[in-house]
């Protein structure tokens, strides 16, 4: 067999294997998510965590630039050399695909968190209403403690780098209850691509090759701790967006700092309100009247920010990412972000908010 066919064939083998792996989540959990991956993840964070800039973003920049240059150089002979060019492209995809899964993405196939934590999946409107009301009381209380005025929005007094360090406290407290949420060796960075991410409509992402948690630094500060905690959950090997929202929420509200707690509670409340908008707008409007005006001003701050950068680019990337999630064991696509309400509602049936 000619060498140029080896990697394209290996890509086909990978695709076939990934059709089988979903049937064995217990094995993925045992041998990868709780076996090999923690070693890879911790090693990467130790190696790259102290680098003062996002190495992963820099690598992506070099990679994208090299690909564009390659296409540009091949533009004249693409038709005449289409076979060799296609094989070269498939070889690159094969290597990329292999390391993407080896270094992180096999976590898409692990056991669901609701099984691990013994949390039910379904809930009623009455369950959601009860939880939302409790969440409003809690968020109102913290907003009042921070501002001393119901009508003032919460303004964070900390830098983003300080928030990264502060978030460790929440995970430390959470790990006391659940040792599998233990987090060490901080490697959370402000993304060099924050402006493009904003136009794409994303608050952050995990670089699977360097295990750096990338956070968009341009958005409102009151959302920043929760966003960073979400990406830190990805670092620990949780691939599901709903699970990372849930873990990020727990790490936020378990933090000793009230500002970080506010980030978790206020964003959780906003997700619940979004659910009510879809279920029953009349109830949503009633609930809104019980929320402090200062909290609603924080929500408006977010809405105004994202509206300022809304373009067709965002729609295109959301369609792409929606399909990407569906291809990787998250059948609800972008809607999976909202599914963490299921986890919250049922978790707090047994636990105090």
Q: Which residues of 251-262 are buried (b: 16+ CB within 10 A; e: fewer)?
A: bbbbbebebbbb
pLDDT tops 90 at residue 109: yes
**Tokens 């952050």 identify what position?**
204
In 3D space, the residue among 283, 270, 278 whose CA is nearest the CA of residue 340 turns out to be: 270
Phi, then psi, of 291 in degrees rounded to 5: -95, 135
What's the length of the chain?
353
Q: Are strands 212-215 and 188-190 parallel, antiparallel or unpaired?
A: parallel
pLDDT tops 50 at residue 174: yes
Instruction: Decide if 353 contacts 142 (C-beta within 8 A).
Output: no
- Global confidence as pTM: 0.91
Picking from 218-227, 235-244, 271-280, 328-337, which range would have the lowest pLDDT averaged per residue?
Answer: 328-337
DSSP code string of 105-162: GGGGGS--HHHHTT--S---HHHHHHHHHHHHHHHHHHHHHHHSSTTSPP---S-HHH
pLDDT tens-digit series, residues 234-277: 999 999 999 999 999 999 999 999 999 999 999 999 999 988 98
Q: How far apart are the first and last CA of the chain?
A: 62
Sheet with 188-190, side-by-side order of all strands: 188-190, 212-215, 204-207
Average pLDDT across the chain, whole number: 91
Any idea what DSSP says for residue 53? S
Instruction: Decide if 98 contacts 9 (C-beta within 8 A).
Output: no
pLDDT tens-digit series, residues 62-94: 999 999 998 888 887 877 788 888 899 999 999
Instruction: Decide if 336 contacts 122 (C-beta within 8 A).
Output: no
Q: What is the pLDDT of residue 334?
A: 43
pLDDT tops 80 at residue 322: no
Structure tokens at 126: 């009455």
DSSP element (H, E) containing 214: strand 212-215
Phi, then psi, of 205 in degrees rounded to 5: -165, 165
For residue 142, what are the CA distances in angstroms to 126, 234, 262?
25, 27, 6
- Tell me if residue 204 falls in helix, strand or coil: strand
Instruction: Decide if 243 contacts 231 (C-beta within 8 A).
Output: no
Report residue 293's pLDDT band, with 50, 70 and 90 as the boundaries: very high
Phi, then psi, of 17 in degrees rounded to 5: -60, -40
In 3D space, the residue among 250, 283, 280, 278 whose CA is nearest the CA of residue 264 turns out to be: 250
């Amino acid at each position: 067999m000619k060498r140029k066919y080896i990697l394209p064939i290996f890509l086909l083998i990978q695709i076939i294997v990934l059709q089988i792996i979903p049937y064995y989540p217990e094995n993925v959990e045992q041998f990868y998510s709780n076996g090999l991956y923690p070693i890879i993840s911790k090693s990467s964070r130790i190696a790259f965590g102290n680098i003062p800039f996002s190495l992963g973003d820099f690598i992506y920049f070099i990679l994208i630039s090299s690909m564009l240059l390659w296409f540009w150089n091949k533009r004249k002979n693409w038709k005449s050399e289409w076979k060799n060019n296609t094989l070269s492209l498939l070889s690159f995809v094969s290597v990329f695909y292999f390391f993407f899964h080896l270094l992180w993405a096999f976590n898409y196939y692990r056991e669901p968190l609701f099984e691990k934590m013994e949390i039910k999946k379904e809930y009623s409107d009455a369950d959601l209403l009860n939880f939302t009301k409790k969440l409003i009381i809690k968020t109102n209380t913290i907003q009042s403690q921070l501002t001393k005025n119901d009508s003032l929005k919460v303004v964070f007094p900390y830098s983003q780098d300080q928030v990264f360090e502060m978030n460790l406290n929440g995970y430390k407290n959470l790990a006391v209850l659940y040792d599998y949420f233990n987090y060490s060796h901080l490697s959370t960075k402000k993304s060099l691509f924050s402006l493009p991410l904003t136009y794409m409509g994303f608050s952050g992402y995990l670089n699977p090759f360097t295990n750096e948690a990338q956070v968009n630094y341009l958005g409102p500060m009151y959302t920043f701790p929760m966003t960073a905690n979400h990406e830190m959950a990805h670092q620990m090997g949780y691939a599901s967006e709903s699970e990372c929202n849930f873990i990020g929420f727990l790490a936020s509200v378990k933090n000793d700092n009230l500002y970080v707690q506010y980030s978790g509670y206020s964003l959780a409340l906003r997700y619940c309100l979004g659910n009510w908008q879809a279920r029953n707008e009349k109830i949503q409007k009633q609930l809104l009247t019980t929320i402090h005006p200062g909290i609603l001003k924080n929500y408006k701050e977010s809405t105004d920010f994202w509206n300022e950068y809304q373009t067709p680019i965002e729609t295109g990337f959301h369609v792409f990412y929606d399909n990407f999630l569906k291809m990787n064991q998250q059948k609800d696509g972008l809607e999976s972000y909202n599914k963490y309400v299921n986890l919250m509602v049922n978790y707090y049936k047994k636990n105090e908010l």
